[in-house]
Amino acid sequence: MKNAIHKSFSLAAAAFALFAGGAFADIRAVTPVPWDGDPACWQMKRHAEKMGAVTNGGAKVVFIGDSITHFWETKGKVQWKKYFASGRRAALNLGTSGDRTEHVLWRITEGGELDGYEAKCILLMIGTNNTGHHTFAEEPPVDTILGVKRILDVIAEKQPGARTILTAIFPRGADANDPLRRRNNIVNKEIAKFADGGKVVWCDFTDRFLDGEGRLSRELFPDLLHPDAAGYEIWASAVVPLIDKILAAPADEAIPSVWPSAPCIYSTAANLSAEPVSGFPDFLWWGKGRPLEKRNEIVGNGPVEYDLVMVGDSITHRWEREGGEGRELFAELRKKYRVLNLGYGGDQTRHLIWRLANGELEGYKAKLFQVMIGTNNRDRDPAETAAGIKRVLEIIEEKHPESKILLLPIFPRGAAAADKKRVQNEKVNAIIRNLADGDRIAWLDFNERFFNAEGQLTKEVMNDLLHPNENGYKIWLDAIMPVLREYCGDR
């Protein structure tokens, strides 16, 4: 069967200028960085002061963070004296104003602030300056999340006998719609997954700072960022019971996390298929999985223009996955074109929306996006799945106005045309083909190429009747190559 290209587009041949800003070889949020390189800067002087306490034996209880932690020594000094200045909770304050995750990483790696003593309880809150000091494009939430994860990893390396109380980033801004608060909320929802009940305990009491509408009071946070004495009292009352449990508990005793007593206010979509929801279930994904791999790939290339960015689920992932059936063909494709693969096994539309909205569209430009998603939406109403795909297209258009989009139908699944899941996918396809607009978005349907003469899907092209094998990926590659040649050049 020949390809059906519906409402195709044409790319103008125009000079392309990369966005402003230099390339950086590492994800900033996970790369240890001192403040400004000046040994006489006030932060370095504070570091030297704290190292005096470190070399003098450190402490069993250690607070790590930014100005919000630092200000226990000023705005919260009464509470610090009351709860943390002496006795078994006598603590070391390693908060430094202005710190981002990369600065904390420098202090606890090259700086040595966790070296030479044995802590039992470490309290970590960091990240609000990552959002406050950089734009979303410069540092999306995914980078901040990875930065917090790296700090936890270093703490575990430096202080293997300690437990960490990971505290939610405090709310900032007047209400729940504040853009920096929303970014912090995204980070909080993900870093909460790092708690394991053993070495890392989650502590979120931020609801105690807010009223029923999610508003932050200036009586508690005069600048809508830093708590005053009453705010530090709330903080102390939340963590003291946890600290006491940790100090008294055997190493193998589980410590329960603290969750908000009232629901946090997050914006949600009425349609679950179009609501951004992270598909990363736990810390293993964030620590060693594909999110870190993909951000390293994007950031490591520096500002770049990709010829093709593929977004999708496992069917797209298997172009490059170790042992994936499309791996050899993908390697050949990348010899000719610069390609970024953003396929993740198991993703539904809502998971892809989360990824695209929170970091995986930042740091590069692209000539062409290829979108194929939806088979994992399972029993959702076809109109809901189509709305999720529409939202994927909208996010790409918002963040990459320079790019064109090649929209593919959901691939067939199941042997027979009457297979319930195949019927479901075809209902979605009938809707989304109309999203092609004749300008930015093209529709390319080559699904019939996967069928035999009787309209059956066979194991000759999909071993499990869902994921293409090498023959199936060859069909896919042959179908998109004319599009690549037309819009990205014949190479």
Q: By C-alpha distance, which of 405, 413, 398, 395 is closest to 451?
A: 413
Kindly name the residue from 314, 419, 437, 445 that is annotated as catalytic. Answer: 314
Instruction: Give the whole-angstrom CA distance, residue 348 versus residue 170.
Output: 30
Instruction: Give the whole-angstrom CA distance, residue 359 versus residue 283.
Output: 18
How is residue 290 written in tokens? 């594909």
Query: From the CB of residue 463, how many other CB atoms can be counted at a distance below 10 Å?
Result: 15
Contact 209, 221 (CB under 8 A): yes
Instruction: Give the whole-angstrom CA distance, residue 215 versus residue 246.
Output: 32
Instruction: Give the whole-angstrom CA distance, residue 99 versus residue 159.
Output: 21
Element (H, E) at 342: strand 339-343
End-to-end CA separation in angstroms for the chain: 25
Q: Is 467 a catalytic residue?
A: yes
Kindly name the residue from 103, 317, 400, 467 that is annotated as catalytic. Answer: 467
How is residue 479 written in tokens? 């179908």
Q: By C-alpha distance, which of 299, 284, 268 is closest to 186?
A: 268
Q: By C-alpha distance, which of 365, 328, 322, 321 is closest to 342?
A: 321
How is residue 320 written in tokens? 């490059």
HSE toward the beta carbon, residue 18, CA cutoff 13 A: 12
Helices (H), 93-178: 101-108, 128-133, 141-158
Q: Is 464 a catalytic residue?
A: yes
Helical packing angle, 470-488 and 327-336, nearest 10°: 10
Q: Is 307 a catalytic residue?
A: no
Residue 183 phi/psi, 5-degree rounding, is: -65, -40
Query: Helix, strand or coil for residue 78?
Result: helix
Instruction: Give the whole-angstrom CA distance, residue 260 versus residue 274.
Output: 26
Instruction: Give the whole-angstrom CA distance, residue 284 versus residue 149.
Output: 10
Kindly name the residue from 252, 379, 464, 490 that is annotated as catalytic. Answer: 464
Instruction: Give the whole-angstrom CA distance, residue 480 versus residue 223.
Output: 54
List active site positions.
Answer: 314, 464, 467
